[in-house]
Structure 1
Amino acid sequence: MKTMTRWSPARLLPALVLLAPLALAACDSSDGAAGGPTVSVLSPADGAQVAAPFTVKVQASVPLGPSGSGAHHVHVYFDDNDADYTIVESDTGQIAKAPPGEHTLHVSLRNANHSPAGAEASIRVVVGGAPGGTGTSAPGTSAPGDGPYGY
């Protein structure tokens, strides 16, 4: 005669303890601490004086590339004018024109179809000076005789 073993949740506990870390690792999308994608501005520095054209360097938690390839990309725009943007498809992009004065430079991570991917960052920049500036100096650090806009 065969004896039946009673089912008990306590008998499953050792297996659950061993499998739980594997289940959690499988759920990690490595898109950022909160589970979603992230984007940040590496350059220019917050508060930097820049002159158009200048380079923006970004860091995203997802690969960037041409939207035609299905990859994410970044929209870069000034202040609240999100309809007038420059597309950046890698970790660096060239900003060809920028309004003079102090502005908030926004970067917005986008899906291939240009819809928001849920990650944004912003910095303050002062636009002025000679074209091709590095964008690394803080406002007020230009050489004597250099006007605020490089005149």
Structure 2
Amino acid sequence: MDENLRSIIRAMKSLQKKGLLYIEDNVELKSEVNYQFILNIVENLDLTIDIEEYEKIKDNREELIYQLALLSFGEKQLVSDFEIEFIEGIIMNYIDIEDPVILFDDYVFVQKKNVIQELYEKSVIQIKEKKFPKMIFKSRVEDI
């Protein structure tokens, strides 16, 4: 077996053990991310930016997304390029960056409600299929 493939399989199995990835029991190695994990990240993003700073970068979509991604990490926290790119992907897919809300002296970016609803629905399906344990839902899955 190719060493790269072996290392990918090991990494996937490690993610599965941590509850972040589901791998089907077959030769194809189909995998599925734990949507509860994505929801948890999206719900815990702190996406507020000062009005003046927003006005400077609002026309540069890439810079805006990059700055929002950086805001998600603590100031003293060391962050890798991979982590920033991961959060940028989350922001692009799940956050409405076109229409922020003004709250006091900041712009606040909110979730795309329809996309978040889909994530919840996919999470429930994963739980019912016993791919992942229930982590973020307080009620019973049958009630959802």
- Same fold? TM cut 0.5: no
Write 1 or 2 for the structure with the bigger share of helix: 2
- TM-score of the pair, normalised by structure 1: 0.21
Structure (1/2) with the larger strand percentage: 1
Relative contact order, CA 8 A, sep 6+: which one is greater?
Answer: 1
TM-score by length of 2: 0.21
